[in-house]
Every structure is written in C-alpha cells, then in structure tokens.
Structure 1
C-alpha cells in the first residue's frame, strides 16, 4: 500500500507539471500580425558554414521587411565561409561582414564573435539565428519583430527541425518539442528561464544592461539559454509561436553526433538560477520515478489502482503535449509520446552522467 501511495504522489507531481505546461498548450492563437515599426538587425554567426550560407542567405534577403540589415559573422572559418559572405555582400548593401580571427584569450569562442557582431549592428532590436537555419516564411522577421515593445525586450521563438524518416529524427523533434513546451510555459507563467539561438531576439539595451555574455564568457555554450536565464524577467519577455515565424534546420543523422550536440547543450543547465535548476531537476526526477515504479506497481495486489494512476497520468500527457505538438506542427509524434519520453529520459540520464566527468571549451 505504501508503494501505491508513493506511486500516486509521483504521478500527481507529474500531472502538476502538465498543468503548468497547459499555460502554453492551451494558449489561444493570437491574430496574425507583422510589424515594420522598428528597424532590426539580423545577426548570424557562422563557423565553417559555406554551404549553408550559400543556401540560406537568399532566404534572409527575401524577408518582407522594409528596414533591416544582415550582420554575417565569420568566426575564424577555414572553409569558404568568408568568400560566400563577400560574394553576397558585394550585391546587397544591407549585408555587413564581421571577420573574426582567433586569439589566445577567446580561442574558438562563439560568444566573443557574437559580441563583435552585436557591436557592429546599427539597430537596437536584434534577431538571431544560426547559419544552418532557414525561416519558415518571408514574414519571419516581421512576425518576430512585432513582439517587441517598450516593455518587451526579449522574444523567444521556436527553432524546429525538418521532418525526415527514421526513429532518431522523431526523438530529436520530440526533445525539441518538450524543450520548447517547457520554456514557453515557464515564460507564460512569468518565470522565463531559456531560449534557443536558432530563433531568438532581444534588444542591444538589454544586452548591455546585463554586461553581455561576460558572466559566462568562458563557457562554450549558453550564448542563448544562459543569456536568457540571466536577463529575462516576467515583464520583459514575449513568446512568438506563429508558424510563419518558425525556423527550421536539418537534424543530425547519426546518434553519436546528436548526443555530442545534446551534451554541449545540457552542460549549461547547472549554471541556471537555483529555482530553475530545482524545477527542471524535479521534473526529470519525477518522470524517471514514474517509469521506474510503473511496471513494479502492476505486479502488486494493487495493480488495478496502479493501472488507473498510469492511465490518468498518460491521459494528462496526451492532452497537454498533444495540444502543444499540434501548435508547433509536430502532430505526427502523438501516437508514441510515452515511448519517446521513456527513451529520452534514459538518454538524458546517460548524458548527465557523462557531462559530470567531462569538460569542453570550444563551440565547434
């Protein structure tokens, strides 16, 4: 009986998190809006991204926005990245190039390169993406910019991955969906904690007020989530989840490469504010406990009650995550949500264990 009570408490906490996530999941779609009120600077940091830039610069140039510049940062590339940038800049005065060379103090440091790009920008409102990302529509910049106001200095967007065949693709997109569900929900509840650099916007005023990336300049990752964790408040953050404002990129095709990417991303979580570490850590722990105890409870005399608890918890999961998946155009993931979650939990556990014994100092 004690085990049943413990299992019920674990499932109840799981459901409490889903109620929190409903802040985003049941968010009513806003009216489609774009804005050309403010001039903006699109900032892209690229390291050995010649092919992606060749494909994506034309898409950024085609944005339906009357007043924007494109800041292309060549972060000490050894391929033709700089040459590609110069070719496009020669025919488009909106393109400005920042050519960064390695130095001993900031060797292979993306944040140093981004800092130089931000200083080069002539506009106060900055929109960021990665060289391997492309916008979902020609209204991406206008839709993201429409969320800026005198109060809203930071805009969280959604950086999706392309749908492709295979189990790994679904896991990558499910992990991306769950990460977005969490950071959008926390932001809507007045407790923002992160964003993704594939689709992020903030003002230079906010950047300088928080001393840029200085508090974590030596950490290889975190130019997006650590900055948001430090600078975001309940008053200055807006979220942008209109499909026209999504960005897309190609997911990793090899599990090993994806795990390396995730290890780098997860390594910054230990530097979040204590309240965020506690909330995110508890979410993982109670999800892990649920799946650990679920098969055990089904082999006890109270298996009927245990089955009922499992059913209710998974029903909550399908309703909340299902709505979010539809909102973020990931509805094809719905049939196997519990299975994806179980796989992801044990993958994350292995990454956390691995990260505790490794160090990395370069972003690529």
Structure 2
C-alpha cells in the first residue's frame, strides 16, 4: 500500500511540476498598444436584463477603435427585449439578435451562439457571458487577433467574484484548478478546452468545421467541445494578463452549482480520447492517493508515519507552486486554504460525478 501511495504521488507530481509549474513560470506579455483588426463580441442572454444593465456598459466602452457587440436575446421574458431595443438606439456598436419560440429548431445556447456568429460582421470573434465584466477597458486589446495569422483560437481566463461562504470558496478553487489545467496544457502544446466567458476564435474556423454540428445534442460544450475538436499546439495561444481577465458572477446556491457541473460532466464525455485519458488519469490517481492514504492509517504505526510523510511531501511541493498560481489568477486569498479546499473539492467532484451518472439526463442551459 505504501508503494502504491508513493507511485500515486509521482503521477500527481507530473501534473504539478510539468504542467502547472510551467504556467506559474510563464512570462505574461504586455497588452498591445494598438489594434490590428476589428472584432465582434458575442454575448448570449436568456432573462439576463439585470446583468446586462450592470455589465454591458463595460463591454460597449472598451478601449478598442473598431468593434461591435452582438447580443443574442434567446426567448427572454424578463424585459430583456425592451432593454436591448432601447440600448441599440443609444450605441451604434450594439447589434441585437432576437430568437423567438419556435418548435422547428432545437433550443439551447449552441443555437443562440450560432445565430450570434452568423450575425457578426467581423471574422475575429470574442466571447463572453451576460453576467461577466472585463477587468479593464483594455480587455479587447489583449484578446484581439494575434500578429501570428496562424492562430485561430485564443484562450483567456475568467475568475469568479469573491462572495461570502464555503460554496463561493469551493467554486473559485474549482475554477482555479480548471484554469490551471487547460491553460497549462495549452502551454504544453495540448489545448483541450476553453471557457466561453473569455475566449476568442475565427468565424471562418467555425463555419469551416460546421459549427456545433458534431455535438449539437449535448446541452453544454459551445466552448470546451469546440476547442477540444479544433485546437492544436499550432493554432492556439493563451492570455494571462490581469487586465484581460473577465470576472463573472458565481452560483449562489449548491443546487445551481450542481446543475452547472452536471452540464460540464456531459460535455467531457465527448473529448478526444487522449484528452479523456490524461484527465481521467489525473482524477483517478488523486482518488487513489487519498484512498490509499486512508488505508495506510489501518496499518502499523511505522506505516502510518511513512504515509503521513508522503502526504506532507505532497503538500510541501504543491505549496511552492499553487500559491504563486493562485496570486497570478486572482485568487490569492485562497492560498492559505488550498490543502483543505483540495480535499473538499475532490470529495465534492466525486459525489457530483455519481449524481451526474445516475441523475436525470435532461439539463437546460437556462
């Protein structure tokens, strides 16, 4: 059992030292001083009037010479339609696309995103959500199309706003590890997902690959499944500058968070085989690490001391990597809690995995 525990630690250290440490040490480039090409920002909204009223101005007033904001109103009934109609008259760079109830199409966010992409004027598309706000007015300047024309996909970072309570700490910690993984693997040359709250890609790439046709039947995946299918080490870059982060409102209830994670769990099943393997390996060996550590507590006193030393070594090594990453990714307040949150997150995600497998299958995006 001690040998297996030690082997699990070695597997964990691969991710910590060769993936996550690479991100911790990555150089953050300065934001460009000028714009290269115009772009279209796409936001899908379903009953988001309050969020649009609060956050849409931060999008419309970006420090960028030529851009449009395409807001797709997906069958809202909370006053969103009237709000957007009024704002469309005030802002020349705001374009509103309205989706009506119709049994002829499959409702869902992917349809809304597709309608927004079709309506977009420019080839470079930047995506965010209605409940999001950029960290600065230079967000678009950093998320613009890179100088390298071969780059088709740009992966940004979107932290959640700090609120009180354990749920908020857990949500932010889970978001942190998700970001560390997908940004770290992208730096390693194996991009496997992106987050729709802050990412960009070419309109031509979308239509060249028939959009979401391959996974239209899955409620989620407008962001991660699209990136998983079409990103490579040659056509994908990441953005880490603090001014290009996009802050988002977190779930306020456990049920809402569980529903969100259930959607993400369904999308992960369609990842490429190599990505599912390396991500599953990460989760399995984390599960085995804690499982065999618990098992060692029933062995001799000497074995307990050795197991405790292995656990302590794991914590010490990660203590040199994750606090730096937490600060870099705007979660510095969590750095003193990460060993505890790491265990709580593992238990929560394990529980959520079982609930997702045996719970109700139908999940809507809003």
TM class, shorter-length: over 0.9
Shift of 1:146: 5.5
CA distance in 1, matches of 2:178, 2:334: 15
Q: Once structures 1 and 2 are overlaid, which stretch shifts more, 126-135 or 140-149?
A: 140-149
Report the aligned-residue RMSD: 1.4
CA distance in 1, matches of 2:362, 2:148: 38
* 1:34 and 1:145 in contact (8 A); partners too: no
CA distance in 1, matches of 2:342, 2:170: 9
Shift of 1:331: 1.1
CA distance in 2, matches of 1:344, 1:148: 39
Q: Once structures 1 and 2 are overlaid, which stretch shifts more, 311-320 or 197-206?
A: 311-320
Q: Once structures 1 and 2 are overlaid, which stretch shifts more, 235-244 or 344-353?
A: 344-353
Structure 2 unaligned regions, length at least 5:
none
SS of corresponding position for 2:320 = helix
The 5 A counterparts of 1:338-349 are 338-349=339-350
* 1:136 and 1:244 in contact (8 A); partners too: yes
Shift of 1:361: 4.8
- Residue 218 of structure 1 is matched in structure 2 by 217
Q: Once structures 1 and 2 are overlaid, which stretch shifts more, 101-110 or 86-95?
A: 101-110
CA distance in 1, matches of 2:321, 2:34: 31
* 2:157 and 2:179 in contact (8 A); partners too: yes
SS of corresponding position for 2:285 = helix
CA shift digits 1:44-76 (9 cap, x unpaired): 010000111111121112100000001010011
CA distance in 2, matches of 1:235, 1:324: 25
* 1:34 and 1:146 in contact (8 A); partners too: no
TM-score by length of 2: 0.95
- Residue 131 of structure 1 is matched in structure 2 by 130
- Residue 24 of structure 1 is matched in structure 2 by 23
Tell whether 2:333 aligns with 1:337: no
CA distance in 2, matches of 1:49, 1:123: 25
CA distance in 2, matches of 1:103, 1:160: 35
CA shift digits 1:291-330 (9 cap, x unpaired): 1222332453323332222122112222222221111111
Tell whether 2:149 aligns with 1:142: no
- Residue 278 of structure 1 is matched in structure 2 by 277
* 1:56 and 1:131 in contact (8 A); partners too: yes
CA distance in 2, matches of 1:326, 1:304: 33
SS of corresponding position for 1:271 = coil
CA distance in 1, matches of 2:182, 2:21: 12
CA distance in 1, matches of 2:195, 2:248: 13
CA shift digits 1:259-294 (9 cap, x unpaired): 111111222111100111111111111111111222
Between the two proteins, the alignment pairs up a number of residues equal to 362
CA distance in 1, matches of 2:137, 2:363: 36
Runs of 4+ displaced beyond 4 Å: none
The 5 A counterparts of 1:79-98 are 79-98=78-97
- Residue 12 of structure 1 is matched in structure 2 by 10
Shift of 1:220: 0.6
Shift of 1:209: 1.9
Structure 1 unaligned regions, length at least 5:
none
* 1:159 and 1:246 in contact (8 A); partners too: yes
CA distance in 1, matches of 2:215, 2:347: 29
Q: Once structures 1 and 2 are overlaid, which stretch shifts more, 143-152 or 328-337?
A: 143-152
CA shift digits 1:112-171 (9 cap, x unpaired): 111111011110000000001011100011111164630111111111111122111110
CA distance in 2, matches of 1:63, 1:307: 52
CA shift digits 1:238-261 (9 cap, x unpaired): 101111011112211211211111
CA distance in 2, matches of 1:62, 1:76: 26
Q: Once structures 1 and 2 are overlaid, which stretch shifts more, 351-360 or 198-207?
A: 351-360
CA distance in 2, matches of 1:147, 1:133: 23
Distance 1:75 1:322, change over 3 A: same
The 5 A counterparts of 1:42-191 are 42-145=41-144, 147=146, 149-191=148-190
- Residue 351 of structure 2 is matched in structure 1 by 350
Distance 1:270 1:347, change over 3 A: same
